[in-house]
């Protein structure tokens, strides 16, 4: 796709499609950082164990490896690790809200973001909440954050998406597992992306993927999930168009939620077909491949997945200055949103490309037996004292469970 600079006016409250309300203020992403785990399981290990042809993973679903948390890593340690560089760069003085989006929550009452708030040393005068709607939650958090910044442009909002994707051993979904956290600083006059007001929404009550409270691993109906995702692509794009969004030709790039990277290709082909555009596989690959480089080796990180795709796109060689990016966020169950962003001139000076690649390269490969041991690890529920083995080399660790309380500490 090429950006031709022409677009229709945004349909929300008289806003235009390229900036803030009435053009007075631009709000969007000031900074973006991600973190992942200590360990990685190559898909060659999984294929050797279960006798699967490796092409099913490398080509069929587009996955090379999956991030695996150490015993002392979870959504809190990853969240804090992802956000720490942002706090170090920008300070904490203007951050008055932290929204942590996850679907692998560690507590039914206390927000995981409160633990991260403590580890990061953020001020007491901060609101902290946890948000849930499958893989869509971080996009809801981003939109809510923008509203807070519009209300008070001097404030910044820290949005964190953090998840451990976990399915039953030897199940069809096992090969799509992964873990990561993405931290997004939302503010006025941003350095990376201006988020445009027009937004397309879609919700349908489907049972394509879910995790009841009594289960540690998710349940998924694979075919239903693909169908529901594609239905959501249509529905959110239709609403986006009705809200006065850009035309398809305006976009220089597209980012999709990636439960596995080949799903992004399915989704984009479906959108092109729905809009009456020719589906040329080489062009689809050119547009999408830069967004898949991180997710293909990290695996599904649920709420963080779309934003790892965005990070990969921004970290790529393409110059996206003043170009429009279309983003499709999908969360099973299901809720979806299509929205747009414009890349800010000078964005490259604010990227964390080296740190992102180091986060992936530093992971230690493990064999299948070690992976299974980590996957099956669990705590007794009697409220006793249980120290956690020190394994991570990351900045924060989950050190113990004592009296039903989780204890975290800097490493």
Determine the average pLDDT of the residues in 44-64: 97
Whole-prediction pTM: 0.94
Token pair in block for residue 115 = 């633990």
Does residue 19 surpass a pLDDT of 80?
Answer: no
Query: Does residue 1 lie in a domain region?
Result: no
pLDDT (tens digit, 9 = 90+) per residue, 343-372? 999 999 999 999 999 999 999 999 999 999
pLDDT at 318 over 60: yes
Beta-carbon contacts of 379 under 8 Å, excluding residues fewer than 6 positions away, are: 386, 401
Domain-located, residue 51: yes
Q: Known catalytic residue: 135?
A: yes
Peptide bond into 360 cis (omega under 30): no
CA-to-CA distance for 318 and 201, rounded, in angstroms?
Answer: 29
Residue-level pLDDT at 5: 34
Gap between the terminal Cα atoms of the chain: 46
| 3-state SS class at 365 | strand
Write out the residue range of the structural domain in which residue 292 sits: 22-410
Q: pLDDT of 92-115, one tens digit each?
A: 999 999 999 999 999 999 999 999
CA 268/CA 265 separation, integer angstroms:
5
- Catalytic residue (one of 117, 135, 270, 337): 135
Is 178 within a domain?
A: yes
Q: Is the pLDDT of residue 120 over 50?
A: yes
| 257 in active site | yes
CATH of the domain at 189: 3.40.47.10
DSSP secondary-structure letter at 62? -
Length of the chain: 411
- Residues 103, 130, 196, 337: which is the catalytic one? 103
127 touches 98 (CB < 8 A): yes
Does any domain span residue 13? no
In a domain, 10, yes or no: no
Q: How confident is the model at residue 222 (pLDDT cuts 50, 70, 90)?
A: confident
Into how many domains does the chain fold?
1
Helices 43-50, 368-376: axis angle to 10 degrees equals: 90
294 located within any domain: yes
Question: Among the options 7, 43, 257, 270, which is catalytic?
Answer: 257
Q: Establish if 216 belongs to a structural domain.
A: yes
Instruction: Assess if residue 272 is contained within a domain.
Output: yes
């Amino acid at each position: 796709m090429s950006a031709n600079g022409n677009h229709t006016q945004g349909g929300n409250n008289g806003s235009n499609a390229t900036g803030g309300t009435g053009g007075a203020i631009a709000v969007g992403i000031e900074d973006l950082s991600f973190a992942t785990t200590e360990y990685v399981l190559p898909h060659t290990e999984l294929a050797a164990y279960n006798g699967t042809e490796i092409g099913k993973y490398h080509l069929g679903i587009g996955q090379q490896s999956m991030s695996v948390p150490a015993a002392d890593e979870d959504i809190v340690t990853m969240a804090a690790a992802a956000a720490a560089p942002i706090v170090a760069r920008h300070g904490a003085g203007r951050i008055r809200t932290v929204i942590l989006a996850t679907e692998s929550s560690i507590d039914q009452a206390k927000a995981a973001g409160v633990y991260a708030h403590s580890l990061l040393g953020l001020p007491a005068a901060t609101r902290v909440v946890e948000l849930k709607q499958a893989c869509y939650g971080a996009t809801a958090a981003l939109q809510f954050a923008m509203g807070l910044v519009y209300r008070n442009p001097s404030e910044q909002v820290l949005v964190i998406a953090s998840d451990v994707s976990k399915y039953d051993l030897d199940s069809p979904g096992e090969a799509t597992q992964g873990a990561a956290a993405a931290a997004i600083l939302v503010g006025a006059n941003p350095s990376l992306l201006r988020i445009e007001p027009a937004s397309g929404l879609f919700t349908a009550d489907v049972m394509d993927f879910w995790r009841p409270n009594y289960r540690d691993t998710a349940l998924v109906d694979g075919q239903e999930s693909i169908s529901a995702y594609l239905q959501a692509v249509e529905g959110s794009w239709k609403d986006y168009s009705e809200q006065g969004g850009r035309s398809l030709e305006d976009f220089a790039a597209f980012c999709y939620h990636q439960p596995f990277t080949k799903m992004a290709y399915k989704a984009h082909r479906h959108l092109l077909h729905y809009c009456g555009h020719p589906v040329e596989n080489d062009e689809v690959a050119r547009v999408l491949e830069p967004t898949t480089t991180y997710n293909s080796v990290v695996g599904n990180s649920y709420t963080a997945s779309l934003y790892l795709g965005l990070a990969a796109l921004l970290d790529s060689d393409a110059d996206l200055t003043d170009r429009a990016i279309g983003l499709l966020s999908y969360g099973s169950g299901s809720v979806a949103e299509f929205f747009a962003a414009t890349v800010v001139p000078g964005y490259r000076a604010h990227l964390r490309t080296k740190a992102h690649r180091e986060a992936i390269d530093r992971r230690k490969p493990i064999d299948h037996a070690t992976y299974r041991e980590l996957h099956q690890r669990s705590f007794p529920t009697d409220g006793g004292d249980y120290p956690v083995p020190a394994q991570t080399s990351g900045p924060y660790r989950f050190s113990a469970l004592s009296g039903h309380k989780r204890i975290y500490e800097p490493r």
